[in-house]
Structure 1
Amino acid sequence: MTNTAWKQILRSLEKSLNPGVYTVWIKPLRGTVEGNKLTICAPNDFVANWVRDRLLQVIKETAAQVLGNEPKITVVANVEKKSVAPVIKKPVRSKPLGERVQAKEIGLPIVNAPKPIPVQNWRFSFDDFVVGPSNELALAASKSISNTAFASDHLFLSSGPGLGKTHLLHSVGQQLCKVSNRNNLRVACLSSEDFATRMVLAIKGRQIDQFKTQFRENLDVLLLEDVHFFQGKEKMQEELLCTMNALRDRGCKVVLTSSFLPKEFSGIDNRLVSRFCSGFLAHINRPDMETRRRIVLEKARRLQVAVPVEVTDLLAERITTDIRQLESCLNNLVLKARLLNRAVTMDLAWEVLDNYAVPNAAPDFGHIMEFICKSYSLSEDELKSKSRKRQIVLARNTAFYLARKHTDLSLKAIGEKLNRRHSTVLKGITKVEREISQQTPLGRQIEKTAERLTP
């Protein structure tokens, strides 16, 4: 029974956490439930301390849902194990790309997708990507790098949150695995934070040489998300630069994503910025009304539900800045209709939209400031002050995030309105996006606050 309870907790955590966080920090844990006590065994002290400092609250909340009450949690380290660094396999000599692939895993979170490619590895494909004027260049570049004829082996995709970067990244990975003539195409698809975590674990486990071999010599394709994470991290920047140079020299393909363009980065080595810019850069803008309508229709088709034209138009009119939110709204609308055994109607759509949409889909900066001050019980002067109080910093970072998401203001312009440098704005937005993507308690709080934004 105790083993079953821990497995249920793991399954719930896998659904709620960022895949990279779950793979690196949660999956290696072992848990034992005895009455109202949950004992978690980590592979070593480093992982145990990380879990205690950063993941204990979300584990406690998940365990409470599974067990029916909040348990007392103890995190201990397995002293018998010295490292959780993955086993590094010997390099395999590269072959040209061109035919279908049968691949296997070579350590976490590097995935060499088997045939057929499992859903958990490649969540998206080009077939279900809805193209429009805002993203047609990014789509064309992503498709091109998936073929051997593309002039560059390096692609940098940028956009605001929820506009399709991850979708295209996974589509590239899936397509390359389909067309490769390698029996074991070696693809690493991971976030920049996962890359950094693996590097730290390798250093702790005295396996940095194996880490370098794995990423510089044992890869054919590197798909790396959110490279703005490396800002201010000099040693990690140096390792990434050496990795990218090595992959370039071997003719490997590299696709990077970020919420910002390279020129907007702060605290990044100029050589690395140059490397980011060495390939093709494609920015994804906010989709227009017609593209949003087609996204709703495509999602409805996949859900096998009929959505009236007026409902499609309503969703597309109200949710304009985040495609993930648009799809989530439709998902919830369809689920509510099925649970209530009702048809998808305008009345039902309005009920669901109360949780998502804003009457004015593009609030200006003034309204965002008013909303933030009201939400956090602060004055505008306090937001603009030099105060580093936790609540004020959180409110200020949330304002940065919402201004970037809902307006066309540059980072510099946003910073000037709040008496901050553009580098401070960038760091604040990065922190907010990280909390939201990892679905931490703070991230969920920020997300709920952002959803209430109304003019």
Structure 2
Amino acid sequence: MMTTAWNQILNSLEKSLNPGLYTVWIKPLSGEVDGNRVRLKAPNEFVANWVRDRLLRAVREAARQVLDREPEIEITVKASTTTKVARTAKKVAPKQPVARQAGLPIMQMPKTSAVNWRFSFDDFVVGPGNELACAASKSMCSNGMHSDHLFLSSSPGLGKTHLLHSIGRELCLHSNRNRVNVACLSAEQFANRLVMAIRANTISQFKTQFREHVDVLLLEDIHFFQGKEKMQNELLGTLNALRERGCKVVLTSPFLPRELKGIDRQLVSRFCSGFLANIDRPDLETRRLIVQQKARKMQVDVPVEVSELLAERITSDIRQLESCLNNLVLKARLLNRAVSMELAWEVLENYALTNATPDYRHIIEFVCKSYDLSEDQLRSKSRKRQIVLARNTAFYLARRHTELSLKDIGEKLGRKHSTVLKGITNVEREISRQTPLGRQIEQTVERLS
């Protein structure tokens, strides 16, 4: 009866909650019902606290429906098997320290220190658009999620890299391994290492390094592998080997797996085998909190009205928002002036000012004006370098600022889904490499208002 009642509560929660919330937070719980008392056990304190803070009302309502009376909810943490082993070992070595479990083979060694990680969870501002992705990322570090595979997706500049580095830092700091072998690199870097290994006839060493020695693989921009069959085969072999060893894998891309073209079906299936978390654009309150947190970190006083102005005018790219604040503070210091609305407006002239998110029509007009082209030229079949560049910029901006799918964007400009995807990837690559062309594109993009 106790088990039956808990299963009924689970079924009710599965129907009422977002599938992602149910999978990450409710599914790991074990429960039993005794009268009107519902006892829940979480795999760790992180999950227990999250359920208490965010989902207790939903659990209480589901239990009330099943039990037909007001329930008493009790949430505790399951006894750790590591702790049990340690208690037994105390008879032989009473002062043996117990290391924190992080999903890796247990070794009673001092923890490693985190180096070269650019970001942490502490400086990640959580809002409605990224709450689930952040929670899933934290769960990867605490065994709170029943998956060792995470796929993060979002438009550029919304926090994928921040979460990726935060996961790496957290695992290095709190693993029960003396030295966690974390491989954090882009898909292009992975491909370059593979090419060098083939040329140097050291492919067996390459396979050993990534398949046998890596504990955690953090791989960015996996859409780079589109159309690269041999590289996809190696990546699939690597992911399969890591899965068999129980290693953690986190992948990122601006595109969801189903949007990728020229990718082997088995590899797409592997991308989808874990938890998929999408990061949406931050709302106004989240952007305002980001400005305030960044200002505190820089130890500078930014008036509330200034932080609100920046948050209102830069809406779609957190990197650009932070860059604007950095430039504002630097200009104030160089001029020996206080941060003010007047100074903020001066700095904002160099950035994309938006009263609202630009729509598709606004984007096309902007691109045509920036590249001195007509809309007919933009839609034409011409392969002239300037027209192709303008067309790719339009693809990139439409993806970044609108809710249009890749297929919809392509249809509006008379192009296939795969052409849109390739164009966006080319623009991102040039911007990320900061080539002369990339800087030119970036300056053009930042003028969109």
TM-score range, shorter chain: 0.7 to 0.9
Per the alignment, residue 209 of structure 2 pairs with 214
Q: Is the 8 A contact 1:401 1:432 kept in 2?
A: yes
Identify which of 213, 227, 233 aligns with 1:232: 227
Q: Deviations over 1:355-381 (max 9, x none)?
A: 013243411111111111111111111
Identify which of 347, 350, 368 aligns with 1:355: 350
1:35-46 mapped onto 2 (5 Å cutoff): none
CA–CA distance in 2 between the matches of 1:276 and 1:357?
Answer: 34
Per the alignment, residue 302 of structure 1 pairs with 297
Distance 1:404 1:97, change over 3 A: farther
Please state whether the residue corresponding to 2:142 is helix, strand or coil: coil
The range that moved more, 335-344 or 371-380, is 371-380
Q: Deviations over 1:199-235 (max 9, x none)?
A: 0000010001100010000110000000000000000
Please state whether the residue corresponding to 1:146 is helix, strand or coil: helix
Identify which of 92, 101, 114 aligns with 2:111: 101
Q: Is the 8 A contact 1:99 1:179 kept in 2?
A: no
Q: Is the 8 A contact 2:315 2:354 kept in 1?
A: no
Q: Deviations over 1:379-419 (max 9, x none)?
A: 11111111111111100000000111111111111111000
1:70-219 mapped onto 2 (5 Å cutoff): 95-96=105-106, 101-102=111-112, 115=113, 117-118=114-115, 121-219=116-214
Per the alignment, residue 52 of structure 1 pairs with none
Per the alignment, residue 375 of structure 2 pairs with 380
Q: Is the 8 A contact 2:107 2:178 kept in 1?
A: no
Q: Deviations over 1:163-215 (max 9, x none)?
A: 00000000000000111111121110000000000000000100011000100
CA–CA distance in 1 between the matches of 2:107 and 2:225?
Answer: 30
CA–CA distance in 1 between the matches of 2:135 and 2:108?
Answer: 19
Please state whether the residue corresponding to 2:388 is helix, strand or coil: helix
The one-letter code sitting in structure 1 at the alignment partner of 2:335 is: L
CA–CA distance in 2 between the matches of 1:99 and 1:327?
Answer: 39
Please state whether the residue corresponding to 2:394 is helix, strand or coil: helix
Divergent runs of 4+, >4 A: 97-100
The one-letter code sitting in structure 1 at the alignment partner of 2:390 is: A
Distance 1:267 1:339, change over 3 A: same
Please state whether the residue corresponding to 2:213 is helix, strand or coil: coil
CA–CA distance in 1 between the matches of 2:326 and 2:109?
Answer: 36
Q: Is the 8 A contact 2:217 2:248 kept in 1?
A: yes
Please state whether the residue corresponding to 2:185 is helix, strand or coil: strand
Give 5+ residue unaligned stretches, structure 1. Answer: 1-93, 103-114
Per the alignment, residue 281 of structure 1 pairs with 276
CA–CA distance in 1 between the matches of 2:321 and 2:356?
Answer: 12
Q: Deviations over 1:306-336 (max 9, x none)?
A: 1111101100000000000000000000000
Per the alignment, residue 263 of structure 1 pairs with 258
Q: Is the 8 A contact 1:100 1:177 kept in 2?
A: no
TM-score by length of 1: 0.75
Q: CA deviation at 1:353?
A: 0.3
The answer to whether residue 424 in structure 2 is matched with residue 424 in structure 1 is no
Per the alignment, residue 40 of structure 1 pairs with none
The range that moved more, 317-326 or 373-382, is 373-382
Q: Is the 8 A contact 1:154 1:280 kept in 2?
A: yes
CA–CA distance in 2 between the matches of 1:96 and 1:132?
Answer: 35
The answer to whether residue 390 in structure 2 is matched with residue 395 in structure 1 is yes
Q: CA deviation at 1:100?
A: 5.3
CA–CA distance in 1 between the matches of 2:326 and 2:318?
Answer: 12
CA–CA distance in 1 between the matches of 2:271 and 2:372?
Answer: 41
Q: Is the 8 A contact 2:312 2:355 kept in 1?
A: no
CA–CA distance in 2 between the matches of 1:391 and 1:223?
Answer: 36
Q: Is the 8 A contact 1:230 1:237 kept in 2?
A: yes
Q: Is the 8 A contact 1:319 1:361 kept in 2?
A: no
Please state whether the residue corresponding to 2:293 is helix, strand or coil: helix
CA–CA distance in 2 between the matches of 1:368 and 1:359?
Answer: 12
Please state whether the residue corresponding to 1:224 is helix, strand or coil: strand
Identify which of 316, 320, 345 aligns with 1:321: 316
CA–CA distance in 2 between the matches of 1:433 and 1:386?
Answer: 23
Q: CA deviation at 1:98?
A: 8.7
Per the alignment, residue 368 of structure 1 pairs with 363
Distance 1:307 1:330, change over 3 A: same
CA–CA distance in 2 between the matches of 1:100 and 1:362?
Answer: 50
Per the alignment, residue 340 of structure 1 pairs with 335
Identify which of 388, 408, 415 aligns with 1:413: 408
CA–CA distance in 2 between the matches of 1:360 and 1:313?
Answer: 13
CA–CA distance in 1 between the matches of 2:170 and 2:374?
Answer: 51
TM-score by length of 2: 0.76
Identify which of 235, 239, 243 aligns with 1:244: 239
Q: Is the 8 A contact 1:96 1:180 kept in 2?
A: no
The one-letter code sitting in structure 2 at the alignment partner of 1:267 is: G
The one-letter code sitting in structure 1 at the alignment partner of 2:329 is: V
Per the alignment, residue 72 of structure 2 pairs with none
Q: Is the 8 A contact 2:312 2:354 kept in 1?
A: no
* Matched length: 346
The one-letter code sitting in structure 1 at the alignment partner of 2:105 is: K
Q: Deviations over 1:141-165 (max 9, x none)?
A: 0000011342100000000000000
Q: Is the 8 A contact 1:333 1:352 kept in 2?
A: yes
Q: CA deviation at 1:97?
A: 7.6
The one-letter code sitting in structure 2 at the alignment partner of 1:422 is: H
The answer to whether residue 414 in structure 2 is matched with residue 404 in structure 1 is no
Give the structure, 1 or 2, with the largest relative contact order (CA under 8 Å, sep 6 or more): 1
CA–CA distance in 2 between the matches of 1:256 and 1:318?
Answer: 31
Q: CA deviation at 1:95?
A: 2.8
CA–CA distance in 2 between the matches of 1:153 and 1:363?
Answer: 38
CA–CA distance in 2 between the matches of 1:224 and 1:98?
Answer: 28
Please state whether the residue corresponding to 2:218 is helix, strand or coil: strand
Per the alignment, residue 330 of structure 1 pairs with 325
